[in-house]
Structure 1
Amino acid sequence: MNAFKGLLWKDFKTSSIWFYGWIAIIFLIFVIGLVIGHYVHEPSVTQIFLIMIGVFHFAFLPGIVCSMLRVEGKTQLWLHSPHSGLKLLSSKIIIAFIYSTLSLLVVDILGILTMVIFQEDSLFSYWPIKEGILFNLGVTIVGLYFSGWTIFLWTLYHSLSKYPSLKNIRWIVIAGFIIVYQSAVAFLMSIDRVERFFFETFTVKVSSGFFFSVGANEANAGFDAEMIPFPVMPFLFEGMIMIIVFIIACRLLDRKVEV
Protein backbone atom coordinates (compact mmCIF):
# COMPACT_ATOMS: atom_id res chain seq x y z
CA MET A 1 0.00 0.00 0.00
CA ASN A 2 2.81 2.41 0.87
CA ALA A 3 4.46 1.64 -2.47
CA PHE A 4 1.23 2.48 -4.30
CA LYS A 5 0.89 5.72 -2.31
CA GLY A 6 4.40 6.59 -3.44
CA LEU A 7 3.37 5.90 -7.03
CA LEU A 8 0.35 8.19 -6.63
CA TRP A 9 2.57 10.90 -5.17
CA LYS A 10 5.02 10.56 -8.07
CA ASP A 11 2.22 10.92 -10.65
CA PHE A 12 0.86 13.90 -8.73
CA LYS A 13 4.21 15.69 -8.74
CA THR A 14 4.80 15.07 -12.45
CA SER A 15 1.36 16.34 -13.48
CA SER A 16 0.46 19.02 -10.91
CA ILE A 17 1.76 21.85 -13.13
CA TRP A 18 -0.84 20.94 -15.77
CA PHE A 19 -3.60 20.96 -13.17
CA TYR A 20 -2.61 24.33 -11.72
CA GLY A 21 -2.36 25.72 -15.24
CA TRP A 22 -5.86 24.46 -16.03
CA ILE A 23 -7.28 26.02 -12.85
CA ALA A 24 -5.66 29.33 -13.87
CA ILE A 25 -7.34 29.01 -17.30
CA ILE A 26 -10.72 28.44 -15.62
CA PHE A 27 -10.38 31.65 -13.61
CA LEU A 28 -9.18 33.52 -16.70
CA ILE A 29 -12.22 32.38 -18.72
CA PHE A 30 -14.45 33.23 -15.76
CA VAL A 31 -13.05 36.78 -15.65
CA ILE A 32 -13.46 37.10 -19.42
CA GLY A 33 -17.09 36.03 -19.02
CA LEU A 34 -17.60 38.66 -16.31
CA VAL A 35 -16.09 41.37 -18.51
CA ILE A 36 -18.16 40.41 -21.56
CA GLY A 37 -21.30 40.09 -19.45
CA HIS A 38 -20.73 43.56 -18.00
CA TYR A 39 -20.04 45.00 -21.46
CA VAL A 40 -23.25 43.60 -23.02
CA HIS A 41 -25.27 44.12 -19.81
CA GLU A 42 -26.00 40.39 -19.55
CA PRO A 43 -24.37 38.96 -16.39
CA SER A 44 -25.73 35.52 -17.30
CA VAL A 45 -23.10 35.30 -20.05
CA THR A 46 -20.65 34.34 -17.30
CA GLN A 47 -22.72 31.25 -16.52
CA ILE A 48 -22.70 30.27 -20.19
CA PHE A 49 -18.90 30.41 -20.11
CA LEU A 50 -18.89 28.19 -17.01
CA ILE A 51 -21.19 25.66 -18.70
CA MET A 52 -18.81 25.56 -21.67
CA ILE A 53 -15.86 24.93 -19.32
CA GLY A 54 -17.80 22.14 -17.63
CA VAL A 55 -18.54 20.44 -20.95
CA PHE A 56 -14.87 20.65 -21.92
CA HIS A 57 -13.96 18.50 -18.90
CA PHE A 58 -14.70 15.39 -20.95
CA ALA A 59 -11.41 16.17 -22.72
CA PHE A 60 -9.55 17.44 -19.64
CA LEU A 61 -9.41 14.06 -17.92
CA PRO A 62 -7.86 12.11 -20.83
CA GLY A 63 -5.64 15.12 -21.51
CA ILE A 64 -4.10 14.85 -18.03
CA VAL A 65 -3.67 11.08 -18.49
CA CYS A 66 -1.94 11.70 -21.80
CA SER A 67 0.44 14.24 -20.21
CA MET A 68 1.46 11.70 -17.55
CA LEU A 69 2.00 9.01 -20.17
CA ARG A 70 4.27 11.36 -22.11
CA VAL A 71 6.38 11.95 -19.00
CA GLU A 72 6.70 8.21 -18.47
CA GLY A 73 7.65 7.81 -22.11
CA LYS A 74 10.45 10.36 -21.87
CA THR A 75 11.91 9.03 -18.63
CA GLN A 76 11.44 5.27 -19.34
CA LEU A 77 10.63 4.86 -15.63
CA TRP A 78 8.39 1.81 -15.92
CA LEU A 79 11.01 -0.24 -17.72
CA HIS A 80 12.67 -0.54 -14.30
CA SER A 81 9.57 -0.28 -12.09
CA PRO A 82 8.69 -3.21 -9.82
CA HIS A 83 5.00 -2.28 -10.06
CA SER A 84 2.56 -4.11 -12.29
CA GLY A 85 0.96 -2.48 -15.30
CA LEU A 86 -2.33 -2.39 -13.39
CA LYS A 87 -0.83 -0.28 -10.59
CA LEU A 88 1.08 1.98 -12.96
CA LEU A 89 -1.98 2.80 -15.07
CA SER A 90 -4.50 2.83 -12.20
CA SER A 91 -2.39 5.46 -10.44
CA LYS A 92 -2.67 7.77 -13.44
CA ILE A 93 -6.42 7.34 -13.74
CA ILE A 94 -6.90 7.98 -10.00
CA ILE A 95 -4.83 11.19 -10.11
CA ALA A 96 -6.59 12.37 -13.28
CA PHE A 97 -9.98 11.60 -11.68
CA ILE A 98 -9.06 13.62 -8.58
CA TYR A 99 -7.91 16.54 -10.74
CA SER A 100 -11.11 16.44 -12.79
CA THR A 101 -13.31 16.26 -9.68
CA LEU A 102 -11.53 19.20 -8.03
CA SER A 103 -11.70 21.19 -11.26
CA LEU A 104 -15.42 20.57 -11.63
CA LEU A 105 -15.86 21.58 -7.99
CA VAL A 106 -14.15 24.90 -8.77
CA VAL A 107 -16.53 25.42 -11.69
CA ASP A 108 -19.51 24.56 -9.45
CA ILE A 109 -18.38 27.05 -6.79
CA LEU A 110 -17.98 29.79 -9.40
CA GLY A 111 -21.44 28.91 -10.74
CA ILE A 112 -22.95 29.19 -7.26
CA LEU A 113 -21.13 32.49 -6.79
CA THR A 114 -22.64 33.93 -9.96
CA MET A 115 -26.11 32.78 -8.93
CA VAL A 116 -25.73 34.51 -5.57
CA ILE A 117 -24.35 37.75 -7.04
CA PHE A 118 -26.65 37.92 -10.08
CA GLN A 119 -29.84 36.51 -8.61
CA GLU A 120 -32.09 38.55 -10.85
CA ASP A 121 -30.11 37.81 -14.01
CA SER A 122 -29.26 34.13 -13.52
CA LEU A 123 -29.83 31.65 -16.33
CA PHE A 124 -31.66 29.44 -13.86
CA SER A 125 -34.78 30.40 -11.96
CA TYR A 126 -34.00 27.68 -9.37
CA TRP A 127 -30.97 25.99 -7.85
CA PRO A 128 -30.10 23.20 -10.35
CA ILE A 129 -28.48 20.92 -7.75
CA LYS A 130 -29.73 17.62 -9.17
CA GLU A 131 -28.94 18.65 -12.73
CA GLY A 132 -25.48 19.82 -11.70
CA ILE A 133 -24.66 16.51 -10.03
CA LEU A 134 -25.86 14.55 -13.07
CA PHE A 135 -23.93 16.87 -15.38
CA ASN A 136 -20.68 16.40 -13.42
CA LEU A 137 -21.23 12.65 -13.26
CA GLY A 138 -21.90 12.42 -17.00
CA VAL A 139 -18.87 14.50 -17.96
CA THR A 140 -16.65 12.45 -15.62
CA ILE A 141 -17.87 9.12 -17.01
CA VAL A 142 -17.23 10.28 -20.58
CA GLY A 143 -13.79 11.53 -19.53
CA LEU A 144 -12.93 8.17 -17.93
CA TYR A 145 -14.11 6.38 -21.06
CA PHE A 146 -11.84 8.42 -23.33
CA SER A 147 -9.01 8.05 -20.80
CA GLY A 148 -9.26 4.27 -21.03
CA TRP A 149 -9.05 4.37 -24.81
CA THR A 150 -6.17 6.86 -24.64
CA ILE A 151 -4.20 4.50 -22.40
CA PHE A 152 -4.95 1.48 -24.58
CA LEU A 153 -4.05 3.13 -27.89
CA TRP A 154 -0.91 4.70 -26.40
CA THR A 155 0.26 1.37 -24.98
CA LEU A 156 -0.60 -0.52 -28.18
CA TYR A 157 1.28 2.04 -30.26
CA HIS A 158 4.47 1.65 -28.24
CA SER A 159 4.09 -2.14 -28.03
CA LEU A 160 4.32 -2.29 -31.81
CA SER A 161 7.84 -0.83 -31.63
CA LYS A 162 9.05 -4.34 -30.75
CA TYR A 163 8.25 -5.44 -34.28
CA PRO A 164 10.68 -3.90 -36.83
CA SER A 165 8.29 -4.47 -39.73
CA LEU A 166 5.56 -2.47 -37.98
CA LYS A 167 7.58 0.17 -36.14
CA ASN A 168 7.49 2.71 -38.96
CA ILE A 169 3.82 2.22 -39.75
CA ARG A 170 2.41 2.15 -36.22
CA TRP A 171 0.11 5.10 -36.84
CA ILE A 172 -1.42 3.27 -39.80
CA VAL A 173 -1.99 0.19 -37.65
CA ILE A 174 -3.64 2.27 -34.92
CA ALA A 175 -5.82 4.10 -37.43
CA GLY A 176 -6.75 0.77 -39.01
CA PHE A 177 -7.70 -0.66 -35.63
CA ILE A 178 -9.98 2.31 -34.88
CA ILE A 179 -11.64 2.03 -38.29
CA VAL A 180 -12.18 -1.73 -37.94
CA TYR A 181 -13.59 -1.36 -34.42
CA GLN A 182 -15.98 1.42 -35.37
CA SER A 183 -17.06 -0.49 -38.48
CA ALA A 184 -17.71 -3.65 -36.44
CA VAL A 185 -19.83 -1.72 -33.92
CA ALA A 186 -21.74 0.02 -36.74
CA PHE A 187 -22.40 -3.36 -38.39
CA LEU A 188 -23.70 -4.87 -35.15
CA MET A 189 -25.98 -1.89 -34.57
CA SER A 190 -27.37 -2.28 -38.10
CA ILE A 191 -28.79 -5.71 -37.19
CA ASP A 192 -32.41 -5.24 -36.10
CA ARG A 193 -32.32 -7.73 -33.22
CA VAL A 194 -29.10 -6.28 -31.85
CA GLU A 195 -30.38 -2.73 -32.20
CA ARG A 196 -33.61 -3.54 -30.36
CA PHE A 197 -31.68 -5.33 -27.62
CA PHE A 198 -29.38 -2.37 -27.02
CA PHE A 199 -31.89 0.45 -27.36
CA GLU A 200 -35.13 -1.06 -26.04
CA THR A 201 -34.17 -3.66 -23.40
CA PHE A 202 -33.28 -1.32 -20.55
CA THR A 203 -34.25 2.36 -20.58
CA VAL A 204 -34.68 5.14 -18.05
CA LYS A 205 -36.64 8.37 -18.29
CA VAL A 206 -34.53 11.52 -18.69
CA SER A 207 -35.11 15.09 -19.75
CA SER A 208 -35.23 15.55 -23.52
CA GLY A 209 -32.44 18.12 -23.37
CA PHE A 210 -30.89 21.28 -22.00
CA PHE A 211 -31.82 24.72 -23.29
CA PHE A 212 -30.64 28.26 -22.80
CA SER A 213 -31.50 31.47 -24.57
CA VAL A 214 -30.14 34.97 -24.35
CA GLY A 215 -32.24 37.89 -25.50
CA ALA A 216 -32.03 41.66 -25.40
CA ASN A 217 -33.62 41.92 -21.98
CA GLU A 218 -33.62 38.42 -20.54
CA ALA A 219 -31.87 35.08 -20.41
CA ASN A 220 -33.19 31.70 -19.47
CA ALA A 221 -31.88 28.16 -19.13
CA GLY A 222 -32.87 24.79 -17.75
CA PHE A 223 -33.78 21.23 -18.61
CA ASP A 224 -36.82 20.45 -20.77
CA ALA A 225 -39.79 19.12 -18.85
CA GLU A 226 -40.49 16.49 -21.51
CA MET A 227 -39.11 13.08 -20.49
CA ILE A 228 -37.87 10.56 -23.05
CA PRO A 229 -36.64 6.94 -22.76
CA PHE A 230 -32.85 6.77 -22.53
CA PRO A 231 -31.15 3.45 -23.45
CA VAL A 232 -28.72 2.14 -20.84
CA MET A 233 -27.42 -0.99 -22.58
CA PRO A 234 -25.10 0.86 -25.05
CA PHE A 235 -23.33 2.46 -22.09
CA LEU A 236 -23.01 -0.86 -20.28
CA PHE A 237 -21.55 -2.35 -23.46
CA GLU A 238 -19.05 0.50 -23.85
CA GLY A 239 -18.18 0.18 -20.16
CA MET A 240 -17.42 -3.51 -20.64
CA ILE A 241 -15.27 -2.73 -23.69
CA MET A 242 -13.50 -0.04 -21.69
CA ILE A 243 -12.62 -2.56 -18.94
CA ILE A 244 -11.38 -5.07 -21.51
CA VAL A 245 -9.09 -2.61 -23.32
CA PHE A 246 -7.74 -1.37 -19.98
CA ILE A 247 -6.87 -4.94 -18.95
CA ILE A 248 -5.17 -5.48 -22.32
CA ALA A 249 -3.20 -2.25 -21.83
CA CYS A 250 -2.03 -3.47 -18.41
CA ARG A 251 -0.91 -6.79 -19.90
CA LEU A 252 0.98 -5.02 -22.67
CA LEU A 253 2.67 -2.78 -20.13
CA ASP A 254 3.68 -5.79 -18.03
CA ARG A 255 5.80 -6.83 -20.99
CA LYS A 256 7.94 -3.74 -20.27
CA VAL A 257 7.01 -1.61 -23.23
CA GLU A 258 9.85 0.61 -24.39
CA VAL A 259 8.51 4.04 -25.36
Structure 2
Amino acid sequence: MDALIGLLKKDLTLMRFWYIVWLVFTALSMGGGYILSNWIAEPSVIVPIFVMLAGIHIFLMPIIILQTLRIEGKTQIWLYNPQSSQKLLFSKISAAFLLQIISQCLLSLYGVFVTSILVKHGLIGSFREFLPIKQGLFFHGGMLSISIYISLWVIFLWTVYHSLGKYPKVKNFRWLVVLLVWGSYNVFEALLVKLQVLPQELFTFGINLQVAPSMNYDLQNGWEIKYMSASLPIIPIILYTILTIILFFIASRLLDKKVEV
Protein backbone atom coordinates (compact mmCIF):
# COMPACT_ATOMS: atom_id res chain seq x y z
CA MET A 1 0.00 0.00 0.00
CA ASP A 2 2.85 2.40 0.84
CA ALA A 3 4.39 1.70 -2.57
CA LEU A 4 1.11 2.47 -4.34
CA ILE A 5 0.68 5.71 -2.39
CA GLY A 6 4.21 6.67 -3.36
CA LEU A 7 3.46 5.98 -7.02
CA LEU A 8 0.25 8.02 -6.80
CA LYS A 9 2.14 10.99 -5.36
CA LYS A 10 4.72 10.71 -8.12
CA ASP A 11 2.10 10.52 -10.87
CA LEU A 12 0.09 13.38 -9.41
CA THR A 13 3.28 15.46 -9.41
CA LEU A 14 3.91 14.60 -13.08
CA MET A 15 0.31 15.46 -13.98
CA ARG A 16 0.27 18.68 -11.98
CA PHE A 17 1.43 21.05 -14.72
CA TRP A 18 -1.06 20.01 -17.40
CA TYR A 19 -3.84 19.78 -14.85
CA ILE A 20 -3.16 23.37 -13.78
CA VAL A 21 -3.22 24.36 -17.46
CA TRP A 22 -6.60 22.65 -17.75
CA LEU A 23 -7.96 24.41 -14.66
CA VAL A 24 -6.76 27.78 -15.95
CA PHE A 25 -8.42 27.12 -19.32
CA THR A 26 -11.62 26.10 -17.55
CA ALA A 27 -11.60 29.19 -15.32
CA LEU A 28 -10.94 31.49 -18.28
CA SER A 29 -13.79 29.86 -20.23
CA MET A 30 -16.20 30.25 -17.33
CA GLY A 31 -15.14 33.79 -16.52
CA GLY A 32 -14.99 34.83 -20.18
CA GLY A 33 -18.46 33.44 -20.83
CA TYR A 34 -19.90 35.32 -17.88
CA ILE A 35 -18.23 38.60 -18.89
CA LEU A 36 -19.45 38.16 -22.47
CA SER A 37 -23.00 37.44 -21.32
CA ASN A 38 -23.03 40.69 -19.32
CA TRP A 39 -21.41 42.68 -22.13
CA ILE A 40 -23.99 41.70 -24.76
CA ALA A 41 -26.81 41.44 -22.19
CA GLU A 42 -27.53 37.83 -23.14
CA PRO A 43 -27.35 35.51 -20.07
CA SER A 44 -27.95 32.39 -22.19
CA VAL A 45 -24.41 32.67 -23.65
CA ILE A 46 -23.04 30.80 -20.63
CA VAL A 47 -25.06 27.68 -21.52
CA PRO A 48 -22.94 26.79 -24.62
CA ILE A 49 -19.82 27.35 -22.47
CA PHE A 50 -21.11 24.78 -19.99
CA VAL A 51 -21.95 22.33 -22.79
CA MET A 52 -18.50 22.80 -24.38
CA LEU A 53 -16.67 22.18 -21.10
CA ALA A 54 -18.78 19.09 -20.43
CA GLY A 55 -17.93 17.72 -23.88
CA ILE A 56 -14.18 18.15 -23.68
CA HIS A 57 -14.08 16.71 -20.15
CA ILE A 58 -14.18 13.28 -21.80
CA PHE A 59 -10.63 13.82 -23.03
CA LEU A 60 -9.14 15.09 -19.76
CA MET A 61 -8.03 11.70 -18.41
CA PRO A 62 -6.56 10.46 -21.72
CA ILE A 63 -4.59 13.68 -22.25
CA ILE A 64 -2.98 13.87 -18.82
CA ILE A 65 -2.18 10.14 -18.86
CA LEU A 66 -0.57 10.47 -22.30
CA GLN A 67 1.51 13.43 -21.13
CA THR A 68 2.67 11.46 -18.10
CA LEU A 69 3.61 8.48 -20.25
CA ARG A 70 5.55 10.74 -22.59
CA ILE A 71 7.51 12.22 -19.69
CA GLU A 72 8.41 8.80 -18.31
CA GLY A 73 9.18 7.54 -21.80
CA LYS A 74 11.75 10.29 -22.29
CA THR A 75 13.34 9.90 -18.86
CA GLN A 76 13.16 6.06 -18.80
CA ILE A 77 11.90 6.28 -15.18
CA TRP A 78 9.98 3.00 -15.25
CA LEU A 79 13.08 1.02 -16.34
CA TYR A 80 14.48 1.43 -12.85
CA ASN A 81 11.26 1.05 -10.87
CA PRO A 82 11.00 -2.23 -8.91
CA GLN A 83 7.18 -2.15 -8.92
CA SER A 84 5.16 -4.31 -11.32
CA SER A 85 3.91 -2.83 -14.59
CA GLN A 86 0.31 -3.43 -13.51
CA LYS A 87 0.88 -1.33 -10.40
CA LEU A 88 2.65 1.39 -12.40
CA LEU A 89 -0.23 1.69 -14.87
CA PHE A 90 -2.90 1.35 -12.20
CA SER A 91 -1.30 4.25 -10.33
CA LYS A 92 -1.49 6.47 -13.42
CA ILE A 93 -5.12 5.55 -14.04
CA SER A 94 -5.99 6.15 -10.38
CA ALA A 95 -4.23 9.53 -10.29
CA ALA A 96 -5.94 10.67 -13.50
CA PHE A 97 -9.26 9.31 -12.21
CA LEU A 98 -8.92 11.41 -9.06
CA LEU A 99 -8.17 14.56 -11.06
CA GLN A 100 -11.08 13.80 -13.39
CA ILE A 101 -13.46 13.48 -10.42
CA ILE A 102 -12.30 16.81 -8.99
CA SER A 103 -12.73 18.52 -12.34
CA GLN A 104 -16.22 17.08 -12.84
CA CYS A 105 -17.19 18.27 -9.36
CA LEU A 106 -16.06 21.77 -10.36
CA LEU A 107 -18.11 21.41 -13.54
CA SER A 108 -21.13 20.51 -11.42
CA LEU A 109 -20.64 23.66 -9.34
CA TYR A 110 -20.45 25.66 -12.55
CA GLY A 111 -23.68 23.99 -13.64
CA VAL A 112 -25.31 25.22 -10.43
CA PHE A 113 -24.01 28.73 -11.17
CA VAL A 114 -25.33 28.60 -14.75
CA THR A 115 -28.71 27.42 -13.50
CA SER A 116 -28.91 30.20 -10.92
CA ILE A 117 -28.24 32.79 -13.65
CA LEU A 118 -30.94 31.30 -15.89
CA VAL A 119 -33.44 31.23 -13.03
CA LYS A 120 -32.56 34.80 -12.02
CA HIS A 121 -33.31 36.11 -15.52
CA GLY A 122 -36.46 34.02 -15.89
CA LEU A 123 -35.06 31.88 -18.72
CA ILE A 124 -36.02 28.68 -16.88
CA GLY A 125 -38.49 28.06 -14.12
CA SER A 126 -36.44 26.22 -11.50
CA PHE A 127 -33.21 24.37 -10.72
CA ARG A 128 -34.78 20.97 -11.33
CA GLU A 129 -35.80 21.99 -14.82
CA PHE A 130 -32.20 22.51 -15.98
CA LEU A 131 -30.17 20.46 -13.52
CA PRO A 132 -32.07 17.39 -12.26
CA ILE A 133 -29.96 15.41 -9.79
CA LYS A 134 -30.71 11.92 -11.14
CA GLN A 135 -29.95 12.79 -14.76
CA GLY A 136 -26.89 14.73 -13.66
CA LEU A 137 -25.44 11.70 -11.88
CA PHE A 138 -26.01 9.46 -14.91
CA PHE A 139 -24.49 12.13 -17.16
CA HIS A 140 -21.32 12.41 -15.07
CA GLY A 141 -21.09 8.63 -14.72
CA GLY A 142 -21.28 8.20 -18.48
CA MET A 143 -18.70 10.94 -19.04
CA LEU A 144 -16.33 9.29 -16.57
CA SER A 145 -16.80 5.81 -18.10
CA ILE A 146 -16.06 7.02 -21.63
CA SER A 147 -12.99 8.87 -20.39
CA ILE A 148 -11.65 5.72 -18.71
CA TYR A 149 -12.30 3.66 -21.86
CA ILE A 150 -10.40 6.13 -24.06
CA SER A 151 -7.59 6.28 -21.49
CA LEU A 152 -7.06 2.52 -21.65
CA TRP A 153 -6.86 2.68 -25.43
CA VAL A 154 -4.29 5.48 -25.13
CA ILE A 155 -2.18 3.40 -22.73
CA PHE A 156 -2.45 0.30 -24.91
CA LEU A 157 -1.53 2.08 -28.16
CA TRP A 158 1.32 3.92 -26.42
CA THR A 159 2.86 0.63 -25.24
CA VAL A 160 2.39 -0.92 -28.71
CA TYR A 161 4.12 2.08 -30.30
CA HIS A 162 7.14 1.93 -28.00
CA SER A 163 7.31 -1.87 -28.03
CA LEU A 164 8.09 -1.67 -31.73
CA GLY A 165 11.06 0.60 -31.04
CA LYS A 166 13.42 -2.35 -30.63
CA TYR A 167 12.71 -3.57 -34.16
CA PRO A 168 14.84 -1.46 -36.57
CA LYS A 169 12.81 -2.42 -39.65
CA VAL A 170 9.58 -0.96 -38.31
CA LYS A 171 10.91 1.62 -35.86
CA ASN A 172 10.39 4.51 -38.28
CA PHE A 173 6.88 3.32 -39.17
CA ARG A 174 5.57 2.64 -35.68
CA TRP A 175 2.88 5.29 -35.99
CA LEU A 176 1.53 3.48 -39.04
CA VAL A 177 1.33 0.20 -37.12
CA VAL A 178 -0.58 1.95 -34.32
CA LEU A 179 -3.04 3.35 -36.86
CA LEU A 180 -3.44 -0.12 -38.37
CA VAL A 181 -4.12 -1.64 -34.95
CA TRP A 182 -6.74 1.01 -34.16
CA GLY A 183 -8.27 0.80 -37.64
CA SER A 184 -8.32 -3.02 -37.63
CA TYR A 185 -10.20 -3.06 -34.34
CA ASN A 186 -12.82 -0.65 -35.65
CA VAL A 187 -13.22 -2.66 -38.85
CA PHE A 188 -13.51 -5.86 -36.83
CA GLU A 189 -16.13 -4.32 -34.57
CA ALA A 190 -18.09 -3.02 -37.57
CA LEU A 191 -18.02 -6.47 -39.19
CA LEU A 192 -19.32 -8.11 -36.02
CA VAL A 193 -22.25 -5.71 -36.01
CA LYS A 194 -22.89 -6.03 -39.75
CA LEU A 195 -22.70 -9.82 -39.81
CA GLN A 196 -24.77 -10.05 -36.63
CA VAL A 197 -22.41 -12.61 -35.10
CA LEU A 198 -24.15 -12.11 -31.78
CA PRO A 199 -27.94 -12.18 -31.44
CA GLN A 200 -29.46 -8.74 -31.94
CA GLU A 201 -31.54 -9.21 -28.80
CA LEU A 202 -28.38 -8.94 -26.72
CA PHE A 203 -27.84 -5.37 -27.89
CA THR A 204 -31.44 -4.25 -27.60
CA PHE A 205 -31.73 -5.40 -23.99
CA GLY A 206 -31.20 -2.45 -21.70
CA ILE A 207 -32.62 0.05 -19.27
CA ASN A 208 -34.59 3.10 -20.38
CA LEU A 209 -33.40 6.26 -18.68
CA GLN A 210 -34.20 9.91 -19.21
CA VAL A 211 -30.62 11.04 -19.60
CA ALA A 212 -30.52 12.54 -23.12
CA PRO A 213 -31.03 16.32 -22.84
CA SER A 214 -32.68 18.26 -25.64
CA MET A 215 -32.09 22.02 -25.38
CA ASN A 216 -33.90 24.67 -27.39
CA TYR A 217 -33.67 28.42 -27.04
CA ASP A 218 -36.44 30.85 -27.91
CA LEU A 219 -36.09 34.64 -27.72
CA GLN A 220 -39.45 34.98 -26.00
CA ASN A 221 -39.61 31.89 -23.81
CA GLY A 222 -35.92 31.39 -23.06
CA TRP A 223 -34.36 27.95 -22.65
CA GLU A 224 -36.46 24.83 -22.87
CA ILE A 225 -34.75 21.71 -21.56
CA LYS A 226 -36.29 18.29 -21.98
CA TYR A 227 -34.81 14.93 -21.00
CA MET A 228 -35.70 12.30 -23.55
CA SER A 229 -35.65 8.56 -22.92
CA ALA A 230 -32.48 6.76 -23.98
CA SER A 231 -31.78 3.05 -23.82
CA LEU A 232 -28.74 2.03 -21.77
CA PRO A 233 -27.60 -1.29 -23.35
CA ILE A 234 -26.34 -3.72 -20.72
CA ILE A 235 -24.48 -6.28 -22.87
CA PRO A 236 -22.35 -3.77 -24.82
CA ILE A 237 -21.34 -2.13 -21.53
CA ILE A 238 -20.20 -5.52 -20.20
CA LEU A 239 -18.29 -6.28 -23.42
CA TYR A 240 -16.55 -2.89 -23.41
CA THR A 241 -15.65 -3.39 -19.74
CA ILE A 242 -14.06 -6.76 -20.58
CA LEU A 243 -12.22 -5.17 -23.51
CA THR A 244 -10.91 -2.41 -21.23
CA ILE A 245 -9.56 -5.00 -18.76
CA ILE A 246 -7.91 -6.93 -21.62
CA LEU A 247 -6.25 -3.77 -22.93
CA PHE A 248 -4.92 -3.05 -19.45
CA PHE A 249 -3.31 -6.47 -19.06
CA ILE A 250 -1.83 -6.45 -22.58
CA ALA A 251 -0.35 -3.01 -21.95
CA SER A 252 1.08 -4.24 -18.64
CA ARG A 253 2.62 -7.24 -20.39
CA LEU A 254 4.25 -5.05 -23.03
CA LEU A 255 5.57 -2.70 -20.36
CA ASP A 256 7.02 -5.69 -18.47
CA LYS A 257 9.49 -6.06 -21.31
CA LYS A 258 11.12 -2.80 -20.16
CA VAL A 259 10.99 -1.34 -23.65
CA GLU A 260 13.37 1.55 -24.30
CA VAL A 261 11.88 4.40 -26.34
Query: What TM-score, normalized to structure 2?
Result: 0.91
Q: Within 2, Cα distance between the matches of 1:184 and 1:238?
A: 14
Distance apart, 1:137 and its partner CA: 0.8
**1:126 match:** 127
- Write the mapping of 1:149-160 to structure 2, written as runs, cut at 5 A: 149-160=153-164
In structure 1, the partner of 2:248 is: 246
Separation (CA, whole Å) in 1 of partners of 2:174 and 2:155: 15
The size of the alignment, in residue pairs, is 257
Shift of 1:78: 0.5
Instruction: Structure 2: give runs of 5+ residues left out of the alignment.
Output: none
What whole-Å deviation, never above 9, does each CA across 1:137-195 have from its counterpart, x for those lacking one? 11110000000000000001000112222212111111111121111111111123525
Conservation of the 8 A alpha-carbon contact between 1:210 and 1:221: no
* C-alpha contact (below 8 Å) 2:216/2:225 kept by paired residues: no
SS at match of 2:216: strand
Q: 1:17 to 1:123 in 2, by over 3 A?
A: farther
Unaligned runs of 5+ in 1: none
Paired residues of 1:44 and 1:123 also in contact (CA < 8 A): no
Letter in 2 for 1:143: S
Deviations 1:75-107 (A, max 9, x none): 100011101111111111111111111011111
After the TM superposition, which residues 84-95 of structure 1 pair with which residues of structure 2 at under 5 Å, given as runs?
84-95=84-95
TM-score (normalised: structure 1): 0.92
Return 36-45 or 130-139, whichever deviates more: 36-45
Indicate the percent of aligned positions where both proteins have the same amino acid: 34
- Preserved contact between residue 123 and residue 212 of structure 1 (Cα < 8 Å): no
How far the C-alpha of 1:44 sits from its partner, in A, is: 2.8
For residue 177 of structure 2, what is the amino acid of its counterpart? Answer: V
Structure 2: which amino acid aligns with 1:155? Answer: T
C-alpha RMSD of the superposition: 1.8
Q: Which residue identity is paired with 1:31?
A: G
Residue 127 of structure 2: SS of its match in structure 1? coil
Query: Does structure 1 conserve the Cα–Cα contact (< 8 Å) formed by 2:135 and 2:210?
Result: no
In structure 2, relative to structure 1, the CA distance for the partners of 1:124 and 1:190 (3 Å cut) is farther
In the alignment, is residue 168 of structure 1 matched against residue 172 of structure 2?
yes
Matched, 1:96 2:96: yes
Deviation at 1:110, TM superposition (A): 1.8
> What amino acid sits opposite 1:160 in the alignment?
L
Is 1:189 aligned to residue 190 of structure 2? no
Give structure 1 regions of 4+ aligned residues with deviation exceeding 4 angstroms.
Answer: none
